[in-house]
Amino acid sequence: MSSSHTPIKVGIVGGTGYTGVELLRLLSQHPNVKLTAITSRKESGVLVADMYPNLRGKVDLAFCTPEQANLTSCDVVFFATPHGVAMSQAKELLAANVKIIDLAADFRLQDTAVFEHWYKMPHACPDILADSVYGLPELNREAIAGAKVVGNPGCYPTTVLLGLAPLLKPNVLIDTKDIIADSKSGVSGAGRGASVGSLFSEVSDSFKAYGVSGHRHHPEIKAQLDLLANASVNLTFVPHLVPMVRGMLSTLYVKLLPGAQGVDLQALYEHFYANETFVDVMPAGSLPETRSVRASNQLRLALHRPPGHPDRLIVLAIQDNLVKGASGQAVQNMNLMFGLPEATGLSQVAILP
């Protein structure tokens, strides 16, 4: 456990993207963290605060090369990189007793064949993968606390899994062969890479579905749902792009089985998440807005029984895709891995309006 006298030495690999700057925002305000290095081969030498002026006066580090970073002297390294980077450096870091939290997909999928199919690369360290933990604290808290390597979940999976988990555990409540996740995300989920499809003039004042014929988060969600349900589920997953920067809402449609009759589903959810700081089960019938979690680590859920469909249950799940859907959850995982109170450094109130 970290005391106030020995802060956690943190390195960040690839801090130039949106999950990187969000990590910097959170970690620079974390009372138990000392940021020691942020790598970017391309921006090496550039002050972090010159690239991200919101950090002026808050972070005085410059980006450095991996060689300069001396990451093996850190206590933990976050990878805010493209897929494939963390797995290529994991072995060396683990040998130096450095913990790893990967915000990309290298440690999310235990089935390497599935990983290789969707990410178009062989997995570099199946043995390390086998020992890694899927970093969804509300479902895997104990394993994360003891993990050396955590695969931080994808943004969409976080909403779908936390939105459905209470229904799957009992296993007789819903038809696991008939699950639909109609998800909507802000544009920051596409990252900071220069691409025509993410230009303001392309996405502003417009709306579309994408990835309908197959999205990388589909196998990730399905794998975890299968584990929760102890069965192979059928999942339809359709992501959509919303002209907003941050925020994600998943509208989850499930079919209740006769076993759900008489079950107080609202109470089930409230009980399931009763001790969770970051999951807010709103009163039944609530209409959560993504702005109510903007820049915070909260995820909010609301249950609905719609008219016109007797056996239908709808779960609405919202989060900030960059916080609970990425960097905030990564810090939550770090807190667990170092024995800190889980909410340390994550108590910010959401920004509204």
Do 204 and 166 contact (CB within 8 A), yes or no?
Answer: no
The separation between the first and the last C-alpha atoms of the chain, rounded to the nearest angstrom, is 38
**Strand-pair partners of 12:** 38, 78
248-261 core/surface letters (b: 16 or more CB in 10 A; e: else): bbbbbbbbbeeebe
Letter string b/e over residues 65-80, b meaning 16 or more CB atoms within 10 A of that residue's CB: ebeebebeebbbbbbb
132 or 332: CB nearest a second copy: 332
Nearer to a second copy, 3 or 213 (CB): 213
Nearer to a second copy, 63 or 86 (CB): 63
Nearer to a second copy, 31 or 126 (CB): 31
Minimum distance, C-beta of residue 266 to a second copy, in the bound complex (Å):
14
Q: How far is the CB of 54 from a second copy (least distance, A)?
A: 4
- Judged by beta carbon, residue 135 or residue 219, the one nearer a second copy is 219
Q: Catalytic: which of 64, 74, 125, 155?
A: 155
Smallest distance from a second copy to CB 332, Å = 16
Least separation in angstroms between residue 317's CB and a second copy is: 11
- Which are the contacts of 201, defined by CB distance < 8 A and separation ≥ 6? none
Q: How far is CA 69 from the centre of its chain?
A: 26
Q: How far is the CB of 202 from a second copy (least distance, A)?
A: 7
Say which amino acid occupies 242. Answer: V
Q: 146 or 258: whose CB is closer to a second copy?
A: 258
Q: Any idea what DSSP says for residue 277?
A: S
Answer yes or no: 155 catalytic. yes
d(CA 109, CA 219): 8
> Rounded to the nearest whole angstrom, what is the least distance from the CB of residue 200 to a second copy in the complex?
4
The sign of the dihedral angle between the CA atoms of 169, 141, 328, 239 is: negative
Q: Is the dihedral of CA 80, 84, 87, 92 positive or negative?
A: negative
Q: Is 168 exposed, middle or buried (0-12, 13-18, 19+ CB in 10 A)?
A: buried
> Are the C-beta atoms of residues 203 and 243 closer than 8 Å to each other?
yes
Residues involved in catalysis? 155
